[in-house]
């Protein structure tokens, strides 16, 4: 009778392991989001105390999305209708801008004038554009990689 090596697992065990890892990753990211929101809005800690966690969490999620888009190669941005890409980008920008205005106007109680709002809108558009272009490029390169593997 042969003993199973700990690292020599069959396909079903691998899938179960991957599901557990994915679930734990998602729960960890949501827990970090909750902790950051709690520290910012309930404890009202200055951002210098938790910026490092926010940067780590944000970059982790962006790298995860980029890796999934590149390694799966399942999405080819060139085959998606432009109006869907534009609508998704506009929705993402509006969500980010809405949260930003809500944070400054309601939570922090600042007077949000038109100049301040336009300044924040430019920042949100710039950051969203960089993220969208980066993820789109990774998706395109991943699709090219997948097509070469198929050939």
pLDDT tens for the chain, 151 residues: list them.
555 566 677 888 889 999 999 999 999 999 999 999 899 888 888 888 888 888 899 899 999 999 999 999 888 888 889 899 899 999 999 999 998 888 888 877 788 888 988 999 999 999 999 999 999 999 999 999 988 888 8
Q: What is the pLDDT of residue 2?
A: 52
Strands (DSSP E) along the chain, which ranges?
A: none
Q: Who's near 145: CB < 8 A, 6+ residues apart?
A: 70, 73
Q: How far apart are CA 139 and CA 133, in angstroms?
A: 10
pLDDT score recorded for residue 3: 57
Angle between helices 51-72 and 11-37 (to 10 degrees): 150
User: What is the pLDDT, as a whole number, of residue 51?
Assistant: 86
Q: Quote the CA–CA distance of 79 and 143 in Å, as a whole number.
A: 11
Q: For residues 128 and 59, is the Cβ–Cβ distance under 8 A?
A: no
């Amino acid at each position: 009778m042969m003993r199973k090596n700990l690292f020599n697992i069959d396909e079903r065990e691998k899938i179960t392991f991957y599901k557990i890892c994915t679930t734990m990753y998602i729960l960890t990211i949501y827990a970090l989001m909750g902790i950051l929101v709690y520290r910012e809005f309930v404890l009202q800690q200055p951002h210098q105390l938790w910026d490092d966690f926010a940067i780590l969490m944000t970059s982790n999620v962006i790298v995860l999305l980029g890796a999934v888009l590149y390694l799966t190669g399942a999405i080819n941005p060139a085959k998606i209708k432009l109006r869907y890409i534009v609508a998704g980008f506009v929705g993402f920008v509006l969500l980010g801008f809405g949260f930003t205005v809500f944070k400054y106007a309601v939570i922090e109680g600042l007077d949000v004038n038109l100049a301040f709002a336009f300044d924040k809108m430019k920042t949100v558009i710039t950051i969203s554009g960089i993220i969208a272009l980066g993820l789109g490029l990774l998706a395109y390169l991943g699709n090219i990689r997948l097509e070469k593997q198929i050939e």
